[in-house]
A and B are shown apart, each in its own frame.
Chain A
Amino acid sequence: MRRVQKKVSKVAGRSPKAADSARTAADRSLREAVRTPKAETRTTRAKGRAAGSGQTSAGARRATQTAGRAAKSAAKSKAFPKPAPVRPPAKAVPNKQTAAVPRKPAPAAVPPERPVKRARSKTNPKSGRTSAPRKAAPPATAAETAALEANVIAVPPQASTKTPPSGASTQTVPPGAPPPDAPTAATPEAESAVMPTAAPPVEPSPPAPVRARRRAVAIEDAREAEAMRRPVRRRTRRSDHPSDFDFVRLNVPCQWACPVLTAVPDYIFAIAGGDRDKSYLINRVTNLFPGVLGHVCSRPCEAACRHGEPDLGEPVAICHLKRVAADFRNRDHPWPDRLFPDSGCTVGVVGGGPAGLAAAQLLAALGHGVTVYEAMPKLGGMLMYGIPVFRLPRELVEAEIGRFLDSGIAVETGVRVGRDVTVPELLKRHRAVVLATGTCLARGLAIPGGDLPGVYSGLDFMMDVNDGRPPAVGRRVVTIGGGFTAHDCARSALRLGAAESYLCVRTTEEDLWVTREEVLETKREGVRYLNLVSSMNVVGAERVEGVAFVRNRLGPVGKFGQRTPVTIEGSEFVFPADTVIAATGQYADTAVAAAAGAAAPRFDRRSGACDVPGLFAAGDFCGGAASVIEAMGHARRVAQAVDEYLTGARRLRRVVRVRPAADTPRPRAWDFIPRADMRMLPVPQRLASFGAVVKTGLPAPVGERESHRCYLCNMKYEIRPADCIACGLCAAVCPRDCIGQAAAAGPAAATVWTERWDEAAAVVIDSARCIRCGLCFRVCPTRCIEVEQVEVTDVAAGE
């Protein structure tokens, strides 16, 4: 603290004791300003202080600017309550004491042509503060004009003349006398406008609050002088520096976890502002089917959400919010323009599932002519034929695909590659071919008895069900497997008349790929889990009578981070069953690719390229069965590799966009809003009708409230070491203990923390722990905390 005192006294130009009290007073006044809940109150207070206290020019100017900024920022803010119109300021008697002993020579007069009001580029809607560089701009609003008048009055002792640029008349005020039109302190209006502490002092020495305020003003002057010397840094920039990507990876976990890098905080913030159209469009920048994924996404973002960390509650319902944006959007969105002109190349995309369509969309945006070949009568792949209707309504799939088709991409349905046309033929027809046929072959039950009547493969079972030809199921259905397909099968069996449905899992529920919500709903419908069992053989003479299982214990961690099962000797048992559904995996039909010339083409997992020139693979076909969003993410990467193959250049560049931002608009109370549960159809109604959609969606107001929970982790609070006086206020108010001293400043991941003052190089915010409450920003006496917004995005290389 000694160092802090020294610095403050240097700034204030007074003794350490005086500086300390000045700093305290400054902090108090700033905190008062911050705590004021509405801009209106703050505006009135600031103006009142300026008009009533008769302070020196700097103090009055500061108050004026605060008033102007507050009004301006409130007008800018859409998502939050707007302040009432600003009333003209009351004018009051100048402070005699201040007039008699000016703190510094006051300007005699301001030339009319000189811009007397400086506006800041960005203003915080809550506090009216900013750290943006100031630009000379004439006041334009009524509030600023009014505040300017207050400024004029508060310049004793000489007569001062100022010309407001927006039509206000010039006033000349004699020293020590109130203006003729100003209300006196005796009138009720003046009493309401004048702050209590601003009354003219009777004693020769001013009271302590006034002294403190003057010292605070001195600090403020020093800050402003410093701010003017500081180079302009705050502008939007695009960065491809690894440290910026590192920042996003560590600190915007939701976006980084998303395979298509959806700008999650951005679209949630749009919902918070009531702009669901914008939210939907932000989603669709990288995600072709926001509505569909609002129903069936595997939600890697929610698993990474900071709100779900210990002691912080539950993750934000990101997927549900995606659906809110899709449910309540305007249906007629424009399709985005192409990024590049027509390249003259054509690309054939085999498979009209999520991966194929995602690749087709990006290739078309890059200027290539695209033709999609689909074997089934309709586009959609697993969305149309794999996922049951009760999880994903088909009208939604058709609507979003229909919008996609409007963009002019050619589609040939009913064309099965390998039967109607071969890959070599397609390679002659197109410059490049992308295979995105997914994993359309079921692995089957490779155990004795796996071919008995009453045994189905999970994929075939679901395809038949979704095609309107559901197979007959017995009273007791046993589904083997733990993936999405297995869950769909077990839930479908109940709807098809099974009295009991069991899901047999080799390990435990913790290791399942599906979401916890999926497990919960499956259990709620009555499916029972049989954990830690491995199937050995299907028992039965002419048809299924049961399954022989062996018990497992958990073994070592496998390559995908899941526990492997280890069988327990002598623990075999038979579980009776009438129907067995084996949903134990799917694989790609690589025979189509083999016909392209290479005996067994090997695809690069990342780029999708193979040893046959012009042939690529995307989605599940390349990497095995995964979720819809992962398939789409992979397809986008492959589309860029195809583009590079066709044009010889990488035309999309991944950058981190860094934008200057104001303080967070979130009040701290929003951190304690409980997570909104998805509205679900009652179980009897679900089981009564196969097509009844289980998740009925969040109402718009509930969605808006849920969107308030998002911490907006894409905001970056960073302390400028050069301006930090190490006062410790930020650390004191931090609710999550994420501000500390770093011994060595460096990349976020390599920060060396220290508890010793003599080792500290800087005060640093640990962004990976920070919940972006903004309290540090608001209490900082030197405004040394910068706020920026970061976002990973792909831009055209030339931009």
Chain B
Amino acid sequence: MSPEHFVIIGNGAAANRAADVLRRGDKDARITLISDEFFHFYHRHRLADFLAGAAEADDLLVRAPQHYQKHRIRLRLGQRVTRIDPKEKVLYLKHMEKVRYTRLLLCTGGKPRLPEIHYAYRTCFTTVKTLADARQLRERLDGIRDVVVVGGDLVSVRLAGTLVRLGKAVTFLVDADAFWPLELTPEQRAEFAERLTRTGIAVRLDDALTHVEAHPSGGYRVTTRAGERLRADLVGAFFGLVPDVDFLLGTGLDIDRGLLVNEYLQTNLPDIYAAGDCAQVYNPALRNYWVSIGWPNAEKLGEVAARNLLGQVQAAGQAPVRALEFEGIVVNTCWWRQL
């Protein structure tokens, strides 16, 4: 009997934990990680350090590249999966290559979320989610003087602090509904604004972006709800992450906001599982679906998915302790506690 070929799409926390668990559980199996990023598994939360020049790309690595060789895990970096044929159990890569699998784990992670109200200005916003984004921004830094930041996730706070230290003029628009998926109380917002102000950031409390447009002479012009007009060389939009599953539409997988999976992280198609930020897990105790956001959650789900791939039966866990309901979906977060 030929060995199993576990293919994992993604190279983040969930994917790597799953690969490790799979290798421990099955010494003979072929394991392949496919990622559209060109870089190895790295600490995303340290991208601000990279931006500031305090760390180089190699410093962000979670583990040495030799780790994969040692554990016979094949890494396919810079390769994008465009289509899945679940009947034939074949993946199609962007460069027209086919990859066969016996069991598939989807850990595609999240992509920057953009609220619908700001959708019209999507071309004006800069987001920093990957190392490639950070690299691009780092190259542009010299030409940037004024920065406006909207939204309020962990990345934005760290990034704003970094930019201030680099001598940029940073304006932070703090609004009630910007702290996705949290809705901070006015007291929390005031405290948060106070902390930001201490670091040298110009905070506009209870103000939001209403319009932004590119200026013909370069840069952007931002209009706020209070009527203030701000000039900016960079408008950073940080509204958290949403599951990155668009490329899976049409494959027959059940997709709502993320990949719909049961409590065993199994999708509706045989031998395909999902874990991490991209999974929308049904939780019988909650009587609802929930999406986990953040590194520890992703690792936990990756481990559970790997065990189920190996033939064990393990549920994704009870109702998360700190779950929040947002737009009808329960979100289990952990990053925001570090604010």
Assembly CA distance A551 to B210 (angstroms): 36
Interface residues of B in 256-272 (CB under 8 A from A): 256-257, 260, 268
Interface assignment of B65: CB less than 8 Å from any CB of chain A: no
Contacts of B70 in A (CB 8 A): none
Contacts of B287 in A (CB 8 A): 551, 570-573
One digit per residue, 1 when the CB lies within 8 angstroms of any chain B CB and 0 when it does not, for chain A 552-574 equals 01100000000100001011110
- A680-B120 in contact (CB<8A): yes
Q: A510-B249, A571-B287 are in contact. Are A520 and B282 (CB under 8 A)?
A: no
Contacts of B268 in A (CB 8 A): 553-554
- B260-A523 in contact (CB<8A): no
- B256-A532 in contact (CB<8A): yes
Give B241 Cβ to nearest chain A Cβ, in Å: 18
Assembly CA distance A677 to B120 (angstroms): 7
Q: Which residue of A lies closest to B117 (CB)?
A: A524
Interface assignment of A158: CB less than 8 Å from any CB of chain B: no
Assembly CA distance A570 to B286 (angstroms): 11
Interface assignment of A683: CB less than 8 Å from any CB of chain B: yes
One digit per residue, 1 when the CB lies within 8 angstroms of any chain A CB and 0 when it does not, for chain B 179-211 equals 000000000000000000000000000000011
- B288-A528 in contact (CB<8A): no
- B120-A553 in contact (CB<8A): no
How many A residues are at the interface, by size bracket?
20 to 34
One digit per residue, 1 when the CB lies within 8 angstroms of any chain A CB and 0 when it does not, for chain B 222-254 equals 000000000000000000000000000100001
Q: Which of B119, B210, B255, B328 has the most CB of A within 10 A?
A: B328
Assembly CA distance A508 to B260 (angstroms): 11
Interface assignment of B136: CB less than 8 Å from any CB of chain A: no
Q: Which residue of A lies closest to B252 (CB)?
A: A557
Interface assignment of B139: CB less than 8 Å from any CB of chain A: no
Contacts of B257 in A (CB 8 A): 531
- A524-B116 in contact (CB<8A): yes
Give A464 Cβ to nearest chain B Cβ, in Å: 28
Interface assignment of A747: CB less than 8 Å from any CB of chain B: no
Contacts of A529 in B (CB 8 A): 327-328
Interface assignment of B42: CB less than 8 Å from any CB of chain A: no
Assembly CA distance A683 to B119 (angstroms): 13
One digit per residue, 1 when the CB lies within 8 angstroms of any chain B CB and 0 when it does not, for chain A 506-543 equals 00111000000000100110001111100000000000
Interface assignment of B284: CB less than 8 Å from any CB of chain A: yes
Find A570's partner among B82, B120, B210, B284 (CB 8 Å cutoff): B284
Interface assignment of A112: CB less than 8 Å from any CB of chain B: no
Interface residues of A in 676-690 (CB under 8 A from B): 677, 680, 682-683
Contacts of A683 in B (CB 8 A): 117
- B328-A530 in contact (CB<8A): yes
Interface assignment of A310: CB less than 8 Å from any CB of chain B: yes
Q: Which residue of B lies closest to A571 (CB)?
A: B287
- A551-B288 in contact (CB<8A): yes
Assembly CA distance A469 to B289 (angstroms): 40
Find A523's partner among B82, B116, B289 (CB 8 Å cutoff): B116
Contacts of B249 in A (CB 8 A): 510
Q: Which residue of B lies closest to A530 (CB)?
A: B328
Tell me how many residue pairs across A and B have CB atoms closer than 8 Å: 50
Contacts of B254 in A (CB 8 A): 553-554, 563
Give A313 Cβ to nearest chain B Cβ, in Å: 14
Q: Which of B82, B249, B288 has the most CB of A within 10 A?
A: B288
Interface residues of B in 93-120 (CB under 8 A from A): 116-117, 119-120
Q: Which residue of B lies closest to A532 (CB)?
A: B256
Contacts of B284 in A (CB 8 A): 570-571
Assembly CA distance A563 to B255 (angstroms): 11
Q: A532-B289, A682-B210 are in contact. Are A553 and B260 (CB under 8 A)?
A: yes
Assembly CA distance A509 to B284 (angstroms): 23
- A528-B327 in contact (CB<8A): yes
- A568-B282 in contact (CB<8A): yes
Assembly CA distance A520 to B120 (angstroms): 10
Give A616 Cβ to nearest chain B Cβ, in Å: 39
Assembly CA distance A363 to B117 (angstroms): 46
Assembly CA distance A523 to B242 (angstroms): 16
- A554-B328 in contact (CB<8A): no
One digit per residue, 1 when the CB lies within 8 angstroms of any chain A CB and 0 when it does not, for chain B 281-324 equals 01010011100000000000000000000000000000000000
- A554-B116 in contact (CB<8A): no
Q: A510-B249, A571-B287 are in contact. Are A520 and B116 (CB under 8 A)?
A: yes
Give B125 Cβ to nearest chain A Cβ, in Å: 14
Contacts of B328 in A (CB 8 A): 502, 528-531
- A510-B116 in contact (CB<8A): no
Assembly CA distance A169 to B139 (angstroms): 68
Assembly CA distance A529 to B249 (angstroms): 19
One digit per residue, 1 when the CB lies within 8 angstroms of any chain A CB and 0 when it does not, for chain B 118-160 equals 0110010000000000000000000000000000000000000
- B117-A553 in contact (CB<8A): no
Give A672 Cβ to nearest chain B Cβ, in Å: 14
Contacts of A502 in B (CB 8 A): 328
Q: Which residue of A lies closest to B249 (CB)?
A: A510
Assembly CA distance A310 to B80 (angstroms): 13
Assembly CA distance A508 to B248 (angstroms): 15
Contacts of B256 in A (CB 8 A): 508-509, 531-532
Interface residues of A in 641-697 (CB under 8 A from B): 674, 677, 680, 682-683
Give A774 Cβ to nearest chain B Cβ, in Å: 26
Q: Which residue of B lies closest to A677 (CB)?
A: B120
Q: Which of A502, A510, A674 has the most CB of B within 10 A?
A: A510
Give A517 Cβ to nearest chain B Cβ, in Å: 10
Contacts of B327 in A (CB 8 A): 528-529
Contacts of A553 in B (CB 8 A): 254, 260, 268, 282
Interface residues of A in 714-735 (CB under 8 A from B): none
Assembly CA distance A718 to B288 (angstroms): 56
Contacts of B211 in A (CB 8 A): 682
Assembly CA distance A172 to B183 (angstroms): 92
Q: Which of B210, B256, B282 has the most CB of A within 10 A?
A: B256
Give A520 Cβ to nearest chain B Cβ, in Å: 6
Give A522 Cβ to nearest chain B Cβ, in Å: 9
Q: A310-B82, A529-B328, A531-B256 are in contact. Are A524 and B210 (CB under 8 A)?
A: no
Assembly CA distance A568 to B82 (angstroms): 31
Q: Which residue of B lies closest to A310 (CB)?
A: B82
Q: Which residue of A lies closest to B121 (CB)?
A: A677
Contacts of A520 in B (CB 8 A): 116, 119
Q: Which residue of B lies closest to A520 (CB)?
A: B116
Assembly CA distance A502 to B328 (angstroms): 9
Interface residues of A in 576-626 (CB under 8 A from B): none
- B255-A510 in contact (CB<8A): yes
Contacts of B289 in A (CB 8 A): 532, 551
Assembly CA distance A572 to B284 (angstroms): 11
Contacts of B117 in A (CB 8 A): 524, 683
Q: Which residue of B lies closest to A504 (CB)?
A: B328
Give B237 Cβ to nearest chain A Cβ, in Å: 15
Give A530 Cβ to nearest chain B Cβ, in Å: 4
Find A508's partner among B82, B119, B120, B255 (CB 8 Å cutoff): B255
Give A501 Cβ to nearest chain B Cβ, in Å: 13
Assembly CA distance A683 to B256 (angstroms): 26
Q: Which residue of B lies closest to A563 (CB)?
A: B254
Give A440 Cβ to nearest chain B Cβ, in Å: 32
Assembly CA distance A529 to B287 (angstroms): 17
Assembly CA distance A502 to B255 (angstroms): 20
Give B152 Cβ to nearest chain A Cβ, in Å: 19
Assembly CA distance A554 to B259 (angstroms): 11
Assembly CA distance A239 to B298 (angstroms): 61
Contacts of A531 in B (CB 8 A): 256-257, 328
Assembly CA distance A520 to B328 (angstroms): 17
7 A-B pairs with CB atoms under 8 Å apart are: A510-B255, A532-B289, A553-B254, A554-B254, A571-B287, A677-B120, A680-B120
Known: A554-B254, A573-B287. 18 other contacts (CB 8 A): A502-B328, A508-B256, A528-B328, A529-B328, A531-B256, A531-B257, A551-B288, A551-B289, A553-B254, A553-B268, A554-B260, A563-B254, A570-B284, A571-B288, A572-B287, A674-B123, A680-B120, A683-B117
6 shortest interchain CB distances as A-B pairs: A523-B116, A524-B116, A554-B254, A530-B328, A508-B256, A571-B287
